[in-house]
Chain A
Amino acid sequence: GENVEQHPSTLSVQEGDSAVIKCTYSDSASNYFPWYKQELGKGPQLIIDIRSNVGEKKDQRIAVTLNKTAKHFSLHITETQPEDSAVYFCAGSTGGGADGLTFGKGTHLIIQP
């Protein structure tokens, strides 16, 4: 089955700097890659996703890039703010149902004032 590796497990950046979280996947058939943000005491929430026919997608301060050849994808957050502090999960899917969605183990992003 699919295996999704996520790095780093913890990332601390100064407010205003950029943050990058990286994920690799094992199944070359994977074609959908969502990112979820989990704030303390809450459930994960989808923040951005990308499909395998697209190399990059942006939404205001966040962007996701996908390199199908290398089988890795990354989340980029620019001009970080205190409210960006959270745990971020990447995931990969080969399609079909949501039972085919495999999550990474998460990155705890800490924004230092």
Chain B
Amino acid sequence: NAGVTQTPKFQVLKTGQSMTLQCAQDMNHNSMYWYRQDPGMGLRLIYYSASEGTTDKGEVPNGYNVSRLNKREFSLRLESAAPSQTSVYFCASSEAWGANSPLHFGNGTRLTVT
């Protein structure tokens, strides 16, 4: 039982390149999320999927797209990377759609855009 698995762990991109961050959970959770973590900024929600087949914007969605591939997998795509997207990205899942449902986080992807 691995929980939430993110790949890759580290990535370096040049400005303008694209990439997809992968996330999978094996807890049969309904809801999944993408956050970014920047020094002194805490955790900010990029996109979320309340249930399979739905996705919605969070606080900072510009420059990103997401796909809820199935109940297990939720990917985050950067179409044209910018230095401002240098960050640590966390995928999370929760059993139910509700703020009271605890979030389970992966170990993050550290992305550097040069």
Give me the interface of A with B, judged by CB distance under 8 Å: 6, 9, 32, 34, 36, 41-46, 49, 51, 89, 93-101, 103-106
Contact = CB atoms under 8 A, between A and B. Distances in A.
B99 A97 contact: yes
Interface of B: 4, 31, 33, 40-45, 48, 50, 56, 58, 90, 92, 94, 97-103, 105-108
A49 B106 CA distance: 20
Contacts of B107: 41-43
Contacts of B108: 41-43
Given A98-B99, A100-B99, A45 B58 contact: no
Contact of A93 (B48, B94, B99): B99
Contact of A44 (B43, B44, B94, B98): B43
Given A34-B102, A49-B102, A98-B31, A43 B42 contact: no
B29 to A, nearest CB: 11
A98 B42 contact: no
Contacts of A105: 40-42
Contact of A95 (B4, B58, B99, B106): B99
Contacts of A44: 43, 90, 103, 105
